[in-house]
Amino acid sequence: MAGLLAFTVAGTASAQVPLASLERACKNIGQRLASVDTEYCINAGLKLGDGASHRGMPFLYRDYLPGSSRRTPYRVMLIGGIHGDELSSVSIVFQWMQKLEKERLQPFHWRVVPASNPDGLLSRPSSRTNARGVDLNRNFPTPDWKNTAQKYWIEKTRRDPRRNPGPGPMSEPESRWLTQQIAEFRPDAIVSVHAPFGILDFDGPLHPPQRFGYLRLQPLGVYPGSLGNYSGVNKGLPTITLELPHAGIMPTFDQSQRVWADMLTWLEKHLPNADAPLFQRLDATPWTLGDAINPMTDHLIQARN
């Protein structure tokens, strides 16, 4: 087994080194999803994040910068495939990546994670859970996790294996990595794509959107360890959940484009119409915690925490 990376997240175990290259990961995704071209995936500018899944698959992501520099851009994180058997949630994110490459005037800085549960996606058959049988959407570190997650799973779901929250919050490499991405990227909004309920869900402080294209608002509630609970309720980040109607069938091109257009319109209208914090405006380079931190501005960064 390869060595371990040095970083840790909130006291959890060190991250695993990827055992597959970008090319191998894209080949596997392309073989699983007819709508994702392997060559496009390889050449799409995706990067390998720190760490890997339980089976050594890399976490792939890409940043897309805004086409307009009229003001410091707001940041949006787009996540697909938290549940590995929701194939359409991965395919549509790859489709929207192509739009982001072409839409030169879109105003946001995006961080896109097209397949956040690679082991579940690539299992035969694909599985909702990761390789350790944990539902990643019940494994995020919500404040009430230790008191409620296992209890809810046992009493409400009767130990449904598809909804196993795991032995502890962030026990899984995938949820640890996504939590790290949220901490580093500091998004102003999160969009997570799921299937197959065919509705729009929302958690967070803003007035929710009523519809994106053919997806209408129908709140699903919050659950211990869910991303909506963690980022929307706990962290106060507007968290949009798009539930596509079919896990194995893509929306039509027109349906997909309308959802995307309505989502951009809502984000432009409802994210705060003000300058970003000062530390994001100190130079023209998009700022992330992954960049080198200027000691003269470190106190400003700490003030936001």
The residues facing 58 across adjacent strands are 52
Which pLDDT score is estimated for 17? 79
In this predicted model, what pLDDT tens digit does every residue of 16-59 receive, in sequence order?
A: 778 899 999 999 999 999 999 999 999 999 999 999 999 999 99
Do residues 171 and 134 lie in contact, with contact meaning Cβ atoms separated by under 8 Å? yes
Residue 11 has pLDDT above 60, yes or no: no
Beta bridge partners of 217: 200
Taking CA atoms, 45 is separated from 14, 112, 138, in Å, by 26, 11, 30
Q: Which residues contact 162 (CB under 8 A, 6 or more apart)?
A: 128, 129, 135
Q: How far apart are CA 129 and CA 225, in angstroms?
A: 14
Per-residue pLDDT reduced to its tens digit, 71-104? 788 999 999 999 999 999 999 999 999 999 998 8
pLDDT digit string (tens) for 269-303?
998 755 554 444 444 444 333 333 333 323 322 33
Q: How many CB atoms lie within 10 A of CB 154?
A: 12
Q: What is the CA radius of gyration of the chain?
A: 18
Using one digit for the tens of pLDDT, what is the confidence trace for 150-184? 999 999 999 999 999 999 999 999 999 999 999 99
Instruction: Give tens-digit pLDDT for 180-230.
Output: 999 999 999 999 999 999 999 999 998 999 999 999 999 999 999 999 999
Q: How many CA atoms lie within 13 A of 95 on its CB side?
A: 20
The domains located in the chain, with CATH, are 22-274 (3.40.630.10)
Cβ atoms of 191 and 108 closer than 8 Å: no
More confident residue, 304 or 125: 125
For residue 247, what pLDDT band results from cuts at 50, 70 and 90? very high
Full-model pTM: 0.85
Flag whether pLDDT at 5 surpasses 90.
no
